[in-house]
Amino acid sequence: MSEFLNENPDILEENQLPTRKEDSAKDLLLGGFSNETTVKRRRLLLKIDHSLKSQVLQDIELLDKLLSIRTPPELTSDEDSLPEESEAESVTSQKNEEESELIDAQEIYDLIAHISDPEHPLSLGQLSVVNLEDIDVHDSGNQDEMAEVVIRITPTITHCSLATLIGLGIRVRLERSLPPRFRITILLKKGTHDSENQVNKQLNDKERVAAACENDQLLGVVSKMLVTCK
């Protein structure tokens, strides 16, 4: 039964992985202030960078907004004030983000889906080893409160000896990327592995994980898995 749960996963293309970028990209592209030229330009930029967080894209967007609101500025007086203004705005918005950035399952997914599988030339997202619906996050967004993330992974075969390594890769990736308020729990999805409990116990033992991270050989393998992360 569960023996073949994820033995032959349908391989997903990178662009088939769940993402929220598409939706927000549409919003951005169809934003009310746009005209054909600005949409074209931003679409081009999106193609190059694939990220809405790109500074260039944000700056262009801001510029477009300003241009659509105002009549073209007089170059003499506004040239100086314009970049200053946008800079100041981006600094404050960054600060606000830091103060209360709620982290959700999609964000966790984006952090770990691109980790390479140790034996296939594919990512954990493509192999459906990690799935968006198997990530639970409890986060108030408050930096001074503890938050929790629970990730259930689906190894590709029930006796996959690399399950521990995959779990370790995910843990290292998250410990390096998430704010310190997060407690991370990584579990094998029920019925997906012969020695589920042993692997789970090992993956969530902070002392063993700490020791593993001082093992150069192991760390080398993990680093290789993480190279493909964006």
Contact footprint for another protein (CB under 8 A): 143-146, 179-181, 183, 201, 205-208, 210-211, 214
Nearest approach in angstroms of CB 140 to another protein is 11
Q: Please, what is the minimum distance in Å from the beta carbon of residue 180 to another protein?
A: 5
Min separation Cβ 165 and another protein, Å: 18
Helix intervals (H) in the chain: 21-29, 36-49, 55-69, 75-99, 105-112, 163-177, 196-203, 206-212, 216-226
User: Measured from the CB atom, is 121 or 180 closer to another protein?
Assistant: 180
Spatial contact of 92 and 158, defined as CB atoms under 8 Å apart:
no
Nearest CA-CA partner of 168 in 121, 106, 131, 115: 115
For another protein, the closer CB: 109 or 182: 182
* Nearest alpha carbon to residue 133 among 116, 158, 150: 150
Can you tell me the distance from the alpha carbon of 210 to that of 113, in angstroms, rounded to the nearest whole number?
Answer: 23
Q: Which of 125, 183, 121, 174 is nearest to 154 (CA)?
A: 125
Instruction: Provide the minimum distance between the beta carbon of 198 and another protein in the complex, in angstroms, as a whole number.
Output: 10
Q: Which is nearer to another protein, 179 or 191 (CB)?
A: 179
* CB nearer another protein, residue 48 or residue 146: 146
